[in-house]
Chains A and B, each alone.
Chain A
Amino acid sequence: MDLSQIDPILLITSIMVVSTPLLFAAIGEMVVEKAGVLNLGVEGMMIVGAIAGFAIAVESGSVIIGFVGAAVGGAILSLVFGILTQVFLANQVPAGLALTLFGLGLSALIGQPYAGIRPPQSTTLDVPLLSDLPVLGPILFQHDAMVYLSLFLVTATWWVLKHTKTGLIIKAVGENHEAAHALGYKVVKIRLLAIMFGGACAGLGGAYLSLIRVPQWTEGMTAGAGWIALAIVVFASWRPERVLLGAYLFGGIGALQLRLQAAGANIPVEYLSMSPYIVTIVVLVLISARKSNAGTAAPASLGKMFHATN
């Protein structure tokens, strides 16, 4: 193996690309969990977003319309989960699993005619002078718009949660839904909106995979990214800035193992490919081991059912 074949600048830019789907899905799911809802259907919403975005981009010839379609598709699917858990009061764990199983089937169904097609080309940022800077140019100024949108979304989420009344309401609903209800907030409505935001974000993440990162549609192409996004939220202790860190860390492992494969490392491909999943487990263990002494940062009403009696 020749490690010098791994160009550090190229590695950093590829980390940003590999991490972006995770970042979208994780920041969305974090907001959902902040509102007290555990949606395990991220994988399903991502894969539906991936095919919805891909199909709409191919049919319309526009990547932007594709992304909009992916966000709408993810949000619609998440609404199924929202209605099941918030209106029909179903247990959130199996309902989330159902969303994933259904999403995988539905996406494969929709995706059949789209296998092997190339999506329309997306453009990357090209600022005169800045994009040509030696190290900073490729890292900061040569990405596609979605990379910047994902970073903007993290900042906006941080700001909304920390500095606005909306943020306070979301957190109140997630920490103590009885109290929030008593104060007159519409718990179910707020949660439904949060769930749809999460679905739209997961949809964007999925579409980023199929439209920009790969770019192609293959069945089951999310390959656990949605589950890793869930792990990132735990890793981040439900804080947006740490979601960013977590997504880039996990994405970094993915990008690094791909580079190692390409550089012809002496480790069988299978073992390199399983490394992101193993690292996820290790990180989860480290986080939970630390948390058992310091109390948990999870929203207090996370995963609990809310049924207004009056």
Chain B
Amino acid sequence: MLTLEKRAQPSRAWSLMTPILAVVLTMIAGGIMFALLGKAPLEAIRTIFWDPIFGEFSFYYRPQILIKAGPLILIAIGLSLGFRAGIWNIGAEGQYIMGAIFGAGVGLAFYPADLWFIFPLMVLAGALGGILWAMIPALLKTKFGTNEILVSLMLVYVAEHILSAVSFGALRNPDGHGFPGSRNFQQYEAASNPEIIAGSGMHWGVITAFIAVIGAYILLNRHILGYQIRLTGQAPRAARFAGVRPNLLITFCLGASGALAGLAGLFEVAGPAGQISIDFNSGYGFTAIIVAFLGRLHPFGILLAGLLMALTYVGGDIAQSNLGLPAAAIQAFQGMLLFFLLGMDMLTNFRVRLKQAEAV
């Protein structure tokens, strides 16, 4: 009989292996899913994972990967801090939307002025919007002990309705012939977030994501706050004795993830998306949860996981146009990845032993 034996320490080797194993298993299960949909499984897998990087049109797709990885990494880095300490902000999508609305609102207020400080100001406003939205669950959690999972999630729906209200109302393009949606930032230079090197996909959001990765690594390994986050996650009781103030930690983790999600929203709306519109958000806030776990809540892991998840988005788009694979298949595929990842985690924390069934 197989039995599980708890490891005294999580295995480092398995900790590195499990994400890779999970990806492989997801490819197999995904292949079966594609086959059931009547698509050639190997071709679908190749289209998703190979073609964007090495295929014929990779010069076009490679920048796309960076564009999609930027917000995913940025949001996931913020989420990972809280997840490590058992603080579950799952409303990043809402903070992302509010960051975009705040930042875009500031930029549009200056239209058509051409001043150097407009874009930096928008960046600040974007972070602020995300922080304010994340402070609602933080405050309710610290003051009343209200569950942050449900509050942050409910606020996603509220933010979506606010987004639709402003695209039809306050931020609507006055020259837009009545169509919903704001002015396009790509045509307003002082407020736009263009590619820094043409054709690379590299914009300020991607650079901020890289900075966030390094910042989070330093925070977790070199700073007392990072130490407290790790301690709270591993031994909550010990953390309390060590003088960790839970309320401060909750406020910091939610605030930081809100700020990063807000920044991601602003960079997206001023750059690749171009304008505030009812559906400019594309679920990055939720996919980032998968990215955070796939990266094992480690900054560098998240960097790689973000790139991989961006690859499935870009590859999914190609598979959609070339093979007629439904867009939803990629979403199901990403969910499956999280399943396998969580299931495989057992190998990190437990040893599987073959044991003779005891005679009774």
Contact = CB atoms under 8 A, between A and B. Distances in A.
Contacts of A274: 157-158, 161-162
Q: Is the interface of A mostly helix, strand, loop or mixed?
A: helix
Contact of A227 (B6, B88, B153, B330): B153
A98 B154 contact: no
Interface residues of A, number: 49
A104 B331 contact: yes
Interface in A28-85: 40, 80, 83-84
Contacts of B58: none
Interface string B316-351: 000000000011111111111011001101100110
B162 A292 contact: no
Given A105-B331, A285-B144, A268 B165 contact: yes
B346 A89 contact: yes
A80 B339 CA distance: 8
A90 interface: yes
Given A84-B339, A271-B161, A281-B155, A105 B144 contact: no
Nearest to A111: B328
A281 B293 contact: no
Contacts of B140: 281, 284-285, 288
Contact of A102 (B161, B339, B343, B346): B339
Q: Which of B153, B161, B164, B328 has the most CB of A within 10 A?
A: B153
Given A95-B342, A288-B144, A231 B332 contact: no
A223 interface: yes
Q: Is the interface of B mostly helix, strand, loop or mixed?
A: helix
B154 A277 contact: yes
Interface residues of B, number: 49
Contacts of B345: 88, 90-91
A104 B149 CA distance: 18
A104 to B, nearest CB: 6
A281 B154 contact: yes
Given A88-B346, A98-B338, A273-B161, A112 B6 contact: no
A227 B154 contact: yes
A90 B342 contact: yes
Interface in A2-41: 40
Nearest to B339: A98
Nearest to B167: A270
A101 B346 contact: no
A196 to B, nearest CB: 17
4 residue pairs, one from A and one from B, having the closest CB atoms: A102-B335, A105-B331, A108-B328, A105-B332
10 contacts: A88-B346, A89-B4, A93-B88, A98-B339, A98-B342, A101-B334, A104-B335, A278-B158, A285-B140, A292-B145
Interface of B: 4, 6, 37, 88, 90, 136, 140, 144-147, 149-151, 153-155, 157-158, 161-162, 164-165, 168-169, 286-287, 289-290, 293, 326-336, 338-339, 342-343, 345-346, 349-350
